[in-house]
Amino acid sequence: MNKTPAQLKAEILKLTREFSALAHGANRAGADNTAPFVAGQTTVPYAARVFNADEVEAAVGATLDFWLTLGPEGAAFEAEFAALLGVKHSLLVNSGSSANLVAFSTLTTHKLPPAKRIVPGDEVITVAAGFPTTVAPIIQGGAVPVFIDNDPTTGNARVEQLEAAFSPGKTKAVMMAHTLGNPFDLGAVLEFCRQHDLWLIEDNCDALGCTYSMPVARATALGFKENSPGIPSNGTHITRFTGAWGDISTQSFYPPHHLTMGEGGAVSIVHRPPLKTYAESFRDWGRDCWCASGKDDTCGKRFQWQLGELPKGYDHKYIYSHLGYNLKPLDPQAAIGRQQLKKLPAFIEARKQNWETLRAGLADLGEFFDFSLPTHATSWAKGGFTWDATGCRTDCSWFGFMLRVKAGAPFSHTDLGRHLDAKKIGNRMLFGGNLLRQPAFVQLKKDRPAALRVVGDMPGADELMHRALFLGTYPGLTPAMLAYELEVIYEFVRSR
């Protein structure tokens, strides 16, 4: 009896799940990780893909359907992700770096009012220590990044420097990341942006699942209406995910991140729907048409437009209003992402627990290390944090566990990183450290001194560059892996 395509597909997917159950045991979360762990022989990565047969089946199923280019799975993911964050729209792109490029480019469109449009020579405030593609789009777009320093305890911006960075008539936006899953001081940054009518781009690539809480009175003064859609309140505080407070936010779905599609990212439009059309245009070759792939004439006047110096009636699908890109991912990637979204709450909780395990386990080494704190926290003790008087709170979905080797310690962060690497424990320094010390930025300053501006010295960013490294908190870490990490660090300290 000949089998139908649906029957064959069902058989293939059944075998796919069986294969994944046998082949991917090491990629399961925490206690479900079935791979044997041998201390000193098995690598403990700082981050890795965490998935099971659900994702593999989804990827194979979407590939069998062979849509390939962004299509129904992509549209479904975009809707589901926007609903999760509580934002108006989310657009999939092929990486977090592309997300930052599209987000920034969106604010350069000629379709914005002149006072709001970012044009070459305008300034955008950012932070010195971090990942380079948070800053690169500013320069690539002809604007001038204005660097402020980092607070080494949180890894985030020293918000008290914002006013010093502001230049009337030139400053148009703030673009910065929530460092390692620790939200920056959104209360202070939003107040600054509202006061000066600036855009806020939240680079949320390392912070999916973090929340920021603000007293109701302060939040409503900033324009967040209590208990309106996507803005929940418990009567005293409004709490939102990071990536849902600014104007535009970005996400990365690269394997080390909170959920993965392999490569991939997203641009989220928080509360101004027209920005979606502009972002989509920059993502999709710069075209003026907003029809989804495979659809035509959703405007009802495909052959009636007259734009630029084109003849009236020129096909709207081939009218280009921007100098854009092609930055879409594939539909099988979106299918994987939809399964990852279902696991995200458990992933977030695992990251919090793994951070707490490392913090409690290293508590006796305060003589040698300075430890991170969430923004607005003033101290840590087993059982929780104490908080500052602002009334704002952060709940961190940690990307990593950062510690800083004290200046007087008998070893450096490089010594520790080298030792951990030799013991097969993955670790990373805080990305590019002080970006102003990186070769690309040193050369830029030589070639075009006016291409960037720096507010004062950068002692915090330099401290992070010289003293900080981070360990993993990802959901695939097992109790045995975490115990081994603690054992190796204690042995290293004792040996010095």
Alpha-carbon distance of 19 to 13, in angstroms, equals 10
What pLDDT, on the 0 to 100 scale, is given for residue 130?
97
DSSP H or E run through 443: helix 439-447
Determine the topology of domain 345-495 in CATH.
Answer: Aspartate Aminotransferase, domain 1 (3.90.1150)
Angle of helix 53-65 relative to helix 331-361, nearest 10 degrees, comes to 160
In the block, tokens 């115990």 appear at 483
Cβ neighbourhood burial of 127 (10 Å; 0-12, 13-18, 19+): buried
What pLDDT, on the 0 to 100 scale, is given for residue 231?
79
The set of residues, in sequence order, having a beta carbon less than 8 Å from that of 115 and lying 6+ positions away, is 197
Determine the topology of domain 72-318 in CATH.
Answer: Aspartate Aminotransferase; domain 2 (3.40.640)
Backbone angles phi, psi at 309, to 5 degrees: -110, 20
What pLDDT, on the 0 to 100 scale, is given for residue 2?
87
Q: What is the value of pTM for the model shown? A: 0.96
What residues act catalytically?
257
**Numbered ranges of CATH 3.90.1150.10 in the chain:** 345-495
Chain length of the chain: 496
Contact status, residue 333 vs residue 98, Cβ threshold 8 Å: no
Alpha-carbon distance of 389 to 367, in angstroms, equals 28
Bridge partner list, 241:
211
What pLDDT, on the 0 to 100 scale, is given for residue 370?
98
Which is it for strands 400-405 and 369-371: parallel, antiparallel or unpaired? Answer: antiparallel
In the block, tokens 């109701």 appear at 216
**Numbered ranges of CATH 3.40.640.10 in the chain:** 72-318
pLDDT in tens, the chain (496 residues): 789 999 999 999 999 999 999 999 999 998 888 899 999 999 999 999 999 999 999 999 999 999 999 999 999 999 999 999 999 999 999 999 999 999 999 999 999 999 999 999 999 999 999 999 999 999 999 999 999 999 999 999 999 999 999 999 999 999 999 999 999 999 999 999 999 999 999 999 999 999 999 999 999 999 998 877 777 788 899 999 999 999 999 999 999 999 999 999 999 999 999 999 999 999 999 999 988 877 899 999 999 999 999 999 999 999 999 999 999 999 999 999 999 999 999 999 999 999 999 999 999 999 999 999 999 999 999 889 999 999 999 999 999 999 999 999 999 999 999 999 999 999 999 999 999 999 999 999 999 999 999 999 999 999 999 999 999 999 999 999 999 999 999 999 999 8
What pLDDT, on the 0 to 100 scale, is given for residue 23?
95
Contact status, residue 211 vs residue 347, Cβ threshold 8 Å: no
Q: Is 220 helix (H, G, I), strand (E, B) or coil?
A: helix
Q: How far is CA 449 from CA 4, 126, 441, in A?
A: 67, 17, 10
Backbone angles phi, psi at 420, to 5 degrees: -60, -40
DSSP H or E run through 55: helix 53-65
